[in-house]
Copies of this chain bind each other. A is one copy, B any other.
Amino acid sequence: MAAALAQGERGRGRTAPNPNVGCVIVQGECVVGRGWTQPGGRPHAEAMALAQAGEKSRGATVYTTLEPCAHVSTRGPACSDGLVAAGVARVVIALGDPDARTDGAGIARLRAAGIAVDVGTGATEARRSMAGFLTRKGLGRPFVTLKLALSLDGAVAMADGSSKWITGAAARAHAHVERARHEAILVGRATLEADAPRLDVRLAGLKARSPRRVVLSSRDLGVAEGWTRIAEPKGIATLDGVDHVLVEGGASAAAAFLRDDLVDRLLIYRAPILVGAGRTLGDIGLAHLADAHGRWQLHDARRLGSDRLDVYERVRS
């Protein structure tokens, strides 16, 4: 299942409105097929893996991160039918598909054909990997990651606004990889006007994965070509084909998303510096210190050069 999840990660930020599923087919001790849902959402991961395995899928075990779909669309056949036709012996599924057109029907069809089905292996990781799709299905909006580049004492910039550079080259390169995992990147109006950020992916081989650019501004700016404007944070729900939004700044935009509890994941790039009287986030609507607790859980921590990256996830109970 770990291998299937790794396949699925390849599509993250490119498969909306479909989930970034991953699939691996194993015959005996050999992997005979691998697939991930392709950019734009088709073909599905299972179809890719079955095509690669060919005749070797007969009697094989299939690992897939999401329940195979049960619905035939104009864009392709149902994966559960494809698995039955290929004669696989067993299907291991991480998560059931919440889409009303499948939602258990895929599993039922497999079992009706005499295929052994296990559900739940790697469910936590699968939920994390397909958070964009699941958040869109569950909350009706994209999954939001907020990126912050901070000093040890929480400054996003000097008091005069200068922030080039708080973090180093390794942290900035990592941030570009993160961009490639999102359908859209968002900045606030002040950041757009002050920095005119390119917000593209400046990494060899990944330039074509530069995401859609969105600006948060309550008034019409006569936004330049290639930019979309939303008037308030919850406007992200209206962005078609966007299941992952990366909020890059500045402090006002970050605070606006936090005030509306629209941040699901924090990427904190932390430099080993103290700034003192610098710019900080600003009001996020916290009334009492006790209310701040229990909202964020550390998921990952690593070093990037002399900086560090801490990834926190919003705890939603």
With beta carbons under 8 angstroms apart, the residue of B154, B162, B164, B298 that contacts A151 is B154
Interface string of A177-215 (1 = CB under 8 A from B): 000000000000000000000000000000000000000
What's the number of copies of this chain in the assembled complex? 2
Across the interface, name the chain B residue whose C-beta is closest to A279.
Answer: B280
- Nearest CB on B from A309, distance (A): 13
- A310: B residues at CB distance < 8 A: 152
- For residue A86, CB closer than 8 A to chain B, the reply is no
User: B276 contacts A258, CB within 8 Å?
Assistant: yes
Name which of A20-28, A35-43, A227-235, A288-296 contacts chain B: A288-296
A72 at the B interface (CB under 8 A)? no
Kindly name the residue among A153, A277, A282 whose own CB sees the greatest number of chain B CB atoms within 10 A. A153
Q: Is the Cβ of B154 less than 8 Å from the Cβ of A280? A: yes
Contact for A274 among B284, B303, B308, CB less than 8 A: B284
Question: Separation in Å of the A313 CB from the closest CB of chain B?
Answer: 10
Interface residues on A, range: 35 or more
Tell me if A119 counts as interface (CB < 8 A to partner B). Answer: no
Q: Which residues of chain B come closer than 8 Å to A276, judged between CB atoms?
A: 255, 258, 280-286
User: Considering only CB atoms, which chain B residue lies closest to A259 in the complex?
Assistant: B276
Determine, out of A4-12, A237-245, A265-273, the stretch whose residues face the partner at the interface: A265-273
CB < 8 Å: which of B153, B285, B289 contacts A165?
B289
Q: Which of B152, B154, B155 contacts A266 (CB 8 A)?
A: B152
Q: In whole angstroms, what is the CA distance A166 to B293 when docked?
A: 9
Main secondary structure of the interface of A (DSSP, over half): loop
CA distance in complex: A275, B282 (Å): 9
Cβ contact within 8 Å between B151 and A292: yes
**Smallest CB–CB gap between A151 and chain B, Å?**
7
A150-B154, A151-B154, A153-B280 given; A289·B274 CB < 8 A: no
A84 at the interface (CB under 8 A from B): no
Within 8 Å CB of A154, what residues of B? 150-155, 280
Taking the nearest CB of chain B, how far is it from the CB of A162, in angstroms? Answer: 6
**CA of A269 to CA of B288, assembled, Å:** 20
Q: A153 CB to closest chain B CB, in angstroms?
A: 4
Which residues of chain A from 114 to 166 have any CB-CB distance to chain B below 8 Å in the complex? 148, 150-155, 158, 162-166
In the complex, what residue of chain B is closest to A292 when comparing beta carbons? B273
Contact A289 B158 (CB under 8 A): yes
Not counting A148-B153, A275-B284, A277-B280, a sample of 15 additional A-B residue pairs whose C-beta atoms are within 8 angstroms of each other reads A152-B154, A152-B266, A152-B296, A153-B154, A162-B289, A164-B289, A166-B289, A271-B293, A272-B295, A272-B298, A273-B293, A274-B292, A274-B295, A277-B283, A298-B303
